[in-house]
């Protein structure tokens, strides 16, 4: 049986050439996410209008997994409403824990390549950092209403 390398093309491409890694000047929600166990640090910036994520970006430093995962997440959530983004986050978190259907994994598009992280407990926090930070932004948004 052929083993696929974990650092595959998709992960490497999102890490080396992230589309969403820049300062978003007109973001109305910004939150820092930190993974103290390995030093990943991102600042997630979202522009949310009428519960729709119109734009998003991140800045910061970290390992290939944290950076690529944040970039893939933004690919998925930009243009989605809050509920759709939270549903994708729930699917991603369950995928990392190893309990997701193939149909749900397909909804994650390229982010599905991170499923192998579930077998590497030390890297789980890296993969979920962007997603967890997005969830926290929506909790903060809800408490402000």
Q: Whole-model pTM above 0.85?
A: yes
What is the distance between the alpha carbons of residues 110 and 12, in angstroms, rounded to a whole number?
A: 12
Q: Taking Cα atoms as reference points, which of 66, 110, 73 lies closest to residue 88?
A: 73
What is the distance between the alpha carbons of residues 37 and 126, in angstroms, rounded to a whole number?
A: 9
Q: What is the pLDDT of residues 2-49, one digit of tens each?
A: 445 545 888 899 999 999 999 999 999 999 999 988 899 999 999 999
What is the distance between the alpha carbons of residues 109 and 100, in angstroms, rounded to a whole number?
A: 14
The domains of the chain, with CATH numbers, are 4-144 (3.90.1010.10)
Q: What is the pLDDT of residues 4-15, one digit of tens each?
A: 554 588 889 999
Task: List, in sequence order, the alpha helices (H) in the chain.
Answer: 9-16, 64-77, 82-96, 102-107, 121-144
């Amino acid at each position: 049986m052929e083993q696929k390398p974990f650092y595959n093309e998709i992960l490497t491409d999102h890490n080396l050439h992230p589309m969403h890694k820049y300062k978003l000047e007109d973001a109305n929600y910004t939150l820092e996410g930190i993974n103290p166990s390995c030093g990943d640090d991102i600042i997630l910036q979202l522009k949310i209008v009428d519960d729709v994520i119109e734009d998003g970006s991140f800045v910061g430093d970290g390992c290939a997994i944290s950076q690529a995962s944040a970039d893939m997440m933004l690919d998925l959530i930009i243009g989605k409403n809050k509920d759709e983004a939270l549903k994708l986050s729930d699917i991603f978190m369950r995928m990392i824990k190893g309990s997701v259907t193939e149909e749900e994994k397909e909804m994650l598009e390229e982010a599905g390549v991170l499923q192998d992280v579930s077998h590497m407990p030390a890297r789980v926090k890296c993969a979920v950092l962007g997603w967890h930070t997005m969830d926290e932004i929506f909790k903060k948004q809800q408490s402000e209403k």
